[in-house]
Amino acid sequence: MPRSLNLPQGILAIALHAAGRPLLTQELAVLAGKPQEAIASLLEPLLGAGFVAHTEAPDAWVCPGLPDAVRDEFVRLLVRNAPPGSLTHALARLGAPDMALDDCTAIAEAIGDDLGKQRPGSIICMECALRFLIAWGERHLYTAGGSESCLYGRLALTFQSMCILANRHIPLAFRLSSIAYELAGYGGNERFRPLIGILKSYMRLLCLELPEEPWNISEIETEFLRLKDACEQEMKNHIACFAGLLYAISGNYPDSLRSHVHQGEPGDWLNRIALFHAMSISQSAMYLGRYTLAIGTVESARHSAELAGEKTFSLLWLTHFCFLLLRKGDWDEALNHLDFLFSCTHPVENPKIFSSTVRGLALYHYLNGRLDAAYRILRRETENAIAAGSPHSPFVDPYILDMLYGFTRAGYPEIPRYAFRDTLEALLRSPNRQLRGAALRVKALCLRDGRADLWDAEETDPVSLLRQSVGCLASSQDVRELALSRHELANTLERLGRHDEARPFRMLVSESIGRASHAGMDPLEISILATRDRDSDVFSPGVPNIGTLFLKEELMDRCHDAFNDVPIRQTLEDNLQRIVNVAQLELKAERAALFRPSAGCNSVECAASVNLTRTEMQSPAMRDRIAWIADCLSNGKGDRDRQAICLSLNVGGRQPWLLYLDTRFGPGFLTQLKKSELGELARLFAAEVRTALRLDDMLQQEIHWQNAKFNAVTLQKNTGEAPIIGEGLKPFVSQVRQVGMTDAAVLLYGETGAGKDVIARQIHLFSQRKGPFVAVHPASTPEQLFESEFFGHEKGSFTGATSQKIGYFEMANGGTLFIDEVGEMPLSMQVKLLRVLQNQRFMRVGGTAEIISRFRLVAATNRDLRDEVAKGRFREDLFYRLSVVPLRVPPLRERREDIIGLAEAFAESYCQRYGRPSLRLTDAERACLLNYSWPGNVRELKNIIERAVILNAPLLELVSPSRATASGSGAGAFIIPDFPTIPELEERYLRYVLERTGGKVCGPDGAESLLHLKRSTIYLKLKKYGIIPSDFI
């Protein structure tokens, strides 16, 4: 290996090794952060050593193969010099031989962060990660377990979304989608399978060059609806974004808009999917003429991306905004933004944004009647993009199809990537009913107007095609497309003399455009009239008394109907969100939020919002607006200005709340309403808030009662169990009390049977936490069930998951999680445990929602964990995470003053339990107890007293501990002192074995080894007799 290799050379070598294909000098320069001219000199020593080579193409390089030692040295070089979470660190993992599926989660985070911030190199790393995932999926297609299938599904969704957003590596992502879809099926993962299928369908809609394969979106819809019906409420809230996307892919914009729900703070892979949800909502609202919702959604997402420093996504949202303005009729403002986008985007670095910008500029000229200018700019910039090697990004707006048809009718030569016939045929096969309906109309026009040469002779009736077009578009409810197809159908029928058939369609067109239509109207005029902003017409200041008229005749009724249509939800958060959703939609605001008083002077808290994120509210741009809201809230009075309004809501017996609405790009009719009319609105929404608060009060009372009942069982109160904390532990208990009042993690260590579980319970009681005390013993949990037991699982997440299961982590929320004998946990489990302990966030197996559990951690062990760390059997990072406060529980022999008191307490407890008369210990028995060394500690004392009570009552003659623990006949005497039945004998013997093994079932020193029985057989017998292994620890 050449000496003195630097970091850029290591990056180049590993990139060529991991890419699996030749890389261009331009790509290598981006990765290494060096000019293209420097790449050849950087590769020269690698070329001399045979680690890299030229390809037949003069500007491309390949890695013919790296020796293992050389590859490992390069990986170490990158790891040493790159911070965790960086792209270089991700590249090092991709080149490592021990790359595991788990590693892809961190790699995806690094790529996604750099992708949003437009940092170079993310595209190549994305390709390497895709190739790894494809290879892993092909190897494990039939063998992946339930947890692996779920992780693979999440990763597939993550990379699908990133590829779609970047418009890069779509064929690779499509191949990954096919593998992930199959793997989810074989793994019994009913959750991710339809979600993966939805994004796969979206890619087919966006990329016309994908390979043909049998693919029916109706199958995806069926699977998705089955999942939607079967899953729990929490999952339903998160899959709403997939529902909106699925409906948008199908062109069912009304249902897509109905899926509009508040998504909260999505995490992990869901963060990128939420972008698609917002896009589908804004797109659906635009096609349905709900411009205030469309603008509010787009602008909120754009501002949030800007504040997060995600330039790529900010520009992407700006392109959506431009098309919205073009459709709405604000052409000049759209042109200003399009000019800005054209000046700051590059066809190679931002192909998706660049392609959309060029189409937007061409559409601007087309709408203004400048067909030649539209053609020239689209042709010139498309040819420039092809020459630069920029990938194509297909359009999804039928406006572009109409423009291409205009070029064809005018006789312009075809534009590369926009071949009219190929484009139209692709749209005729599209699963999107809006695009398919528009394509059917354009094909009909070609046939009607003498361009039948473009098609085969399979269809010659334009009326039939136009009727099919109207049928497709009726369900999409796109006013523009419906108006155009009805207009052309009416024209065609009138040409054929079928005026009676044409009349209903002509009337519908007139209704859509707001004036009488006729055959001579230009389709472009129809388009512009059908897509105008009707709110601007209705709510203009020049219309007298429009506020009163609208309020009395429509507004209040619409709000009432909306509240009746949307059912009351189960949680306060959902009900408040329901109120804000109705306010934004029915009052035609771009943004809406519900504020309530918060602790502190003049401070406010946002209870629910639409198109106003937490990031935006904390931004400098909102500082004055938040101060205004706080002032209105403190005064208990509403207020308004030219763009916004605050309605004070009397919620009954509490401080007033505030409903905030603003409209920056629309007419803002609310600001023109009278004070009395605003008062009626305020009373309506205040009543809904009061209802939501009353329901929440009732729910909280029920939860409090359930928690009290649960805690009584969990904490084992009033069970007659004798305490094991004696006078000798008082100094230690004082220390425990001090620790218990904090939230620090505690590690209890000491000998088996010393009472670590009881001390853990005391720590929980001292903490005064309201949540439960959840004790778990991971060593008794089979490794393959670890994730299901600790994380929980969703219904349908794997074969046999017939219902949702709450895991230990979630169960301990607000309380204490006690992990007993943590030192016996396998290394594979330790890794998964550490990840949760770092941020207390996790997902159920098969889940899509990130769950936060604020538990307090207490762990216990009878091993020397430092020695275990040194021997490589316990993770050092986990050890330090657990032992923030280490406490040694003293053995019983070190506190002999407690022995007699504990023995008498145990004797009294067991005499009561078994109905035996109370007896006192003799002096000889006391001396015997005090002189014994008690290697089994308190548990041994407890067991001996219990046996003595059972076998020697009514006269308590305490057996000498030396004989009680001896081997041979003495030991057997306690198993068969009488003539038990076979089941009784089996139960006693199982208890005896578990006592000898300290409750351990698995392993060479566990019950399975002593009994020579299968582990599953032992667990069945333990379940049969109600024996709990952890009772013997």
Q: Which two tokens stand for residue 314?
A: 């900010």
The answer to whether 239 and 848 are in contact (CB under 8 A) is yes
DSSP 214: -
Q: How many CB atoms lie within 10 A of CB 371?
A: 18
Q: What angle do CA 252, 155, 71 make, to 5 degrees?
A: 145
Say which residue the tokens 């680690």 belong to: 51
What pLDDT score was predicted for residue 708? 53
Contacts of 301 (CB under 8 A, 6+ apart): 275, 278, 282, 313, 317
Q: What is the pLDDT of residue 533?
A: 66
Cβ atoms of 967 and 992 within 8 Å: the answer is no
The C-alpha atoms of residue 425 and residue 175 are separated, in whole angstroms, by 24
Residues present in the chain in total: 1033
pLDDT of residue 130: 93
Provide the pairing of β-strand 591-597 with 644-649: unpaired
Cα dihedral sign for 358, 361, 367, 370? negative
Find, among 266, 227, 233, the residue nearest to 571 by Cα: 233
Q: Are 535 and 291 in contact (CB under 8 A)?
A: yes
909 within 8 A of 941, measured Cβ to Cβ: no
Intervals of the chain under pLDDT 50: 230, 232-234, 262-269, 536-552, 706-707, 709-723, 953-975
Residue 538 CA to its chain's centroid (Å): 41
pTM, two decimals, is 0.64
- pLDDT, tens digit, 9 for 90 and up, residues 365-380: 999 999 999 999 999 9
Whether the bond between 954 and the residue before it is cis, its omega within 30 degrees of 0, is yes
Q: What is the assigned CATH class of domain 715-890? A: alpha beta
CATH number for the segment(s) 559-697: 3.30.450.40
Distance in angstroms (rounded) separating the CA atoms of residues 740 and 737 = 5
| Residue 670, pLDDT score | 65
Does the domain formed by 894-957 have CATH 1.10.8.60?
yes
pLDDT at residue 359, rounded to an integer: 95
Contact residues for 635 (Cβ-Cβ < 8 A; gap 6+)? none
Q: Read off the DSSP letter of residue 956.
A: -
- What count of other Cβ atoms lies within 10 Å of the Cβ of residue 317? 26
Give which of 458, 513, 468 is closest to 489, Cα–Cα.
468
Q: Please write the tens of the pLDDT for every residue from 506-540.
A: 999 999 888 898 988 988 889 888 887 655 444 44
Residue 825, sorted as left (phi over 0), alpha (psi -120 to 50) or beta, turns out to be beta
- Between CA 589 and CA 293 the distance in angstroms is 7
C-alpha dist (Å) from residue 688 to 572, 594, 682: 11, 12, 10
Which residue type does 784 have?
Q
Q: Long-range contacts of range 922-926, CB-CB < 8 Å, 24 or more positions apart? A: 922/958, 925/958, 926/900
Specify which residues 658 forms β-bridges with.
Answer: 595, 648
Amino acid at 321: F
- What stretches of 764-850 adopt beta strand conformation (E)? 773-776, 792-793, 805-806, 816-819, 841-842
Q: How many CB atoms lie within 10 A of CB 641?
A: 12
DSSP string, 380-433: HHHHHHHHTTPPP-----HHHHHHHHHHHHTTPPPPTT--HHHHHHHHHT-S-H
